[in-house]
Amino acid sequence: MAIARRPPPDLFKLAVNQWTQPFWQATKEHRLLLARCADCGHARMPPTPFCPQCQSQRIAWTALSGLGTVYSYTVVTRAILPDMDAYLPYVPAVITLDGADGMRLISNVVDIEVQAITVGLRVQVVWDDAPSQAVAVPRFAPVAA
Ligand SMILES: [Zn+2]
């Protein structure tokens, strides 16, 4: 049995812009935010410059519970980067976020035997601090029973 591991949070360099900066700022406090249109309430993830429903640029950031459901996933057993060799296996996943009108976040499922991961698994956010970039990376572990 292999446990889904946590890829190193500092392996990749985040490119933050004015539309994503509030999201990453909140991660420092381990808060998961969703961008909603401040005019019509439409959720958008990732936050884009214009609302696809009404073209407004105004965003109201709202806090999410951090709960979600595995929509899709894959188990990586061969590293494509040498720096990832020590972190196998890891599990990239698409998570449908509770309270986000069906919006999904690409992340990792961690801290669970890979054979126990299924589509529909209930998960909750866990945070991996990335000190060199002054953010935390949201990852998802099974909901505690
Ligand atoms: Zn809108």
User: For residue 69, is it within any domain?
Assistant: yes
- Number of structural domains the chain divides into: 1
Whether 66 is covered by a domain: the verdict is yes
Distance CA 46, CA 58 (A): 14
In a domain, 58, yes or no: yes
In a domain, 1, yes or no: no
Domain assignment present for 4: no
Residues linked to residue 106 through DSSP beta bridges, in sequence order? 94
Tell me the CATH number at 114. 2.40.50.840
Give me ligand 1 centre to Cα 19, in Å. Answer: 15
Measured in Å, residue 49 CA sits from the centre of ligand 1 at: 11
Can you name the residues that pair with 135 across neighbouring β-strands? 130
Q: Per-residue confidence of the chain (145 residues) as pLDDT tens digits?
A: 699 999 888 877 888 899 999 999 999 999 999 999 999 999 999 899 999 999 999 999 999 999 999 999 999 999 888 888 999 999 999 999 999 999 999 999 999 999 999 999 999 999 999 988 889 999 999 998 6
On whether residue 29 sits in a domain, the answer given is yes
pTM across the whole model: 0.92
In a domain, 9, yes or no: no
Domain of residue 89 covers: 21-142
pLDDT tens digits for range 28-69:
999 999 999 999 999 999 899 999 999 999 999 999 999 999
